Amino acid sequence: MANSNLKLLGCWFSPFALRVKIALSIKSLVYEDIEETLNAKSQLLLQSNPVHKKIPVLLHGDKPICESTIIIEYIDEVWNSGPSILPSDAHDRAMARFWAAYIDDKCMLAMVKSVRVEDAEKRKPYLEEIEDSLVTIEGELQKCCREGKGYFGGEQIGLVDITFGSLLGMMGIIETMNGRKMIVEEKHPCLVKWADRFASDPNMKGLIPEHEKLISLMRLGKE
Ligand SMILES: N[C@@H](CCC(=O)N[C@@H](CS)C(=O)NCC(=O)O)C(=O)O
C-alpha cells in the first residue's frame, strides 16, 4: 500500500525491529527503512523515543510509536490491508499477549544473558532456562497443531509467531556459540516444522538477517 507515510527507525540485526518489519510486511505497507547506529544515536531517534532512546520507533507522519509489541498492535489496529495479526476474539487476544510476554520474559531474557556470558560453564544455567521455555512453547504449539493450525496465530503469522520468530536469528547465534542445536526434532517436532514454515513464509521474504553477518557482528562486539 503506497503513501502510508511511514518511517521505521531500526537496525538490521535487531529482533525488535524485525518484529515491526514483519507486521509491516503482513499489511503490505511501504515504509522508509532508516538504519540507526546505536553507539551514536541520531537526533531523530532521541527526539522520537526520549524515554527509552531505543529502536524500533515507527513514525506515522510525525507521530512516533515506540516498543515493538505496541507498534505491532498499532499497525494491526490502523491498517486492514492484510490479515489480522491479533485474534478478533478477546480471550484469544489475551492468550496471544500472554504467550508473547512469556516468550520475551522467559526465553528471550535467558537468550540475551547466555549470549553475553563468555564462560561456557557460567552459560549453562541460561541454556537450561532456554531449553525449559522451548519445551513449554512446544507444548503450546502442539495444541495449535492438533487444531490443524500451522502457526500459533492460526493459518497466518500472528503476534506469537512474530515474537518467537524474531528470535530465531539469535537462537542461531546461541547454537553456533555452543556447538549444538537448541530446537531439535526429538524434543520439539512442531517447532522444527513451524520454524521452516515461518522462514519460508512470503511475508518473511528478504527480512531474515544472514546468520554469518550476525555471527560476525557478535564476534566484533566481543573484541
Ligand atoms: N522493549 C523494546 C526493546 C528494544 C531494544 O532493546 N532495542 C535495542 C536494539 S535491539 C536498542 O535500541 N538498544 C539501544 C540501547 O539500549 O541504548 C522493544 O520491544 O522495542
Domain ranges of the chain: 6-78, 90-222
Cell of 121: 560453564
Rounded to the nearest 5°, which phi and psi values hold at 6? -115, 140
56 ligand 1 Cβ < 6 A:
yes
pLDDT at 220: 81
Nearest-atom number in ligand 1 for the CA of 69 is 19
Fold: same for 6-78 and 90-222 = no
76 ligand 1 Cβ < 6 A:
no
63 ligand 1 Cβ < 6 A:
no
Cell of 60: 506515522
pLDDT at 223: 61
pLDDT at 4: 66
pLDDT at 163: 98
Residue nearest atom 6 in ligand 1 by C-alpha distance = 54
Report helix, strand or coil for 60.
Answer: strand
| Among 42, 11, 7, 10, residue whose Cα is nearest residue 213 | 11
| Among 15, 18, 5, residue whose Cα is nearest residue 64 | 5
Residues of the chain with pLDDT under 70: 1-4, 222-223
Cβ atoms of 8 and 20 closer than 8 Å: yes
Cβ atoms of 66 and 52 closer than 8 Å: yes
Helices (H), the chain: 15-26, 43-48, 68-78, 90-102, 109-116, 120-146, 159-165, 168-178, 189-200, 211-222
Q: How far is the CA of 15 from the centre of ligand 1 (A)?
A: 9
CATH number of 90-222: 1.20.1050.10
pLDDT at 143: 95
Q: Name 32's bridge partners.
A: 7
Q: Which residues contact residue 28 at a Cβ distance below 8 angstroms, ignoring those fewer than 6 apart? A: 1, 81, 82
70 ligand 1 Cβ < 6 A:
no
pLDDT at 221: 76
Distance, CA of 53 to CA of 41 (rounded, Å): 8
pLDDT at 2: 47
DSSP code for 158: -
Domain spanning 6-78: CATH superfamily: Glutaredoxin (3.40.30.10)
Q: How far is the CA of 132 from the centre of ligand 1 (A)?
A: 25
Nearest-atom number in ligand 1 for the CA of 55 is 12
